Amino acid sequence: MKPEHIRVPALPPMPDQDHRDCRAVASVLARVGDKWSVFVIMMLTDGPKRFNELKRMINGISQRMLTLTLRGLERDGLVTRTVFPTIPPRVDYELTDLGRGLAKPVKALGEWAFANLSEIEGARSSFDARNE
């Protein structure tokens, strides 16, 4: 037996020793992987929404958590906040281009979870039964 693949490509350069790149990516993934952020992004895919409209649409989210989530998404450039000079002031939240780009994989992940929910629940039940 003779090895066929003897030319091994060079390894990519090692990341910084202090792993700055990993930490930066981890902070982005923490934001976009947060359950409330996912719900907000999904609700905004149809267009701009007002705060109370989002609160009604996302079952179980508190006013404080929605505020913190929207601020975080705005800080990361995924959502814009527009204040209209009316009485009372009207505030709309809308996905940016960056946020719309994120909405596609988030939607795909949600569809995958929904399509596989019964299989996942079955696996959980089997696991729990074996480990009681």
Domains within the chain, CATH numbers bracketed: 21-130 (1.10.10.10)
In one-letter notation, the amino acid at residue 20 is: R
**Residue 4 contacts residue 36 (beta carbons within 8 Å):** no
Q: Concatenated DSSP letters for 82-109?
A: EEE--SS-EEEEEE-HHHHHHHHHHHHH
Least confident of 9-13, 21-25, 122-126: 9-13
Backbone conformation region of residue 77, classed left if phi is above 0, alpha if psi is from -120 to 50, else beta: left
Query: How many CA atoms, within 13 angstroms, populate the side-chain half-sphere of residue 21?
Result: 5
Res 33: pLDDT: 79
Q: How far apart are CA 49 and CA 41, in angstroms?
A: 11
**Residue 79 contacts residue 70 (beta carbons within 8 Å):** yes
Is omega for the bond preceding 88 within 30 degrees of 0, making it cis? yes
14-23: per-residue pLDDT in tens?
555 666 677 7
Is residue 91 pLDDT above 70, yes or no? yes
Q: What is the DSSP letter of 88?
A: S
Is residue 4 pLDDT above 80, yes or no? no
Torsion of the alpha carbons at 82, 85, 86 and 88, rounded to the nearest 10: 70
**Residue 42 contacts residue 106 (beta carbons within 8 Å):** yes
> What's the pTM value of the predicted model, to 2 decimals?
0.73
Reported confidence tier of residue 27, pLDDT bands at 50, 70, 90 = confident
Res 72: pLDDT: 93
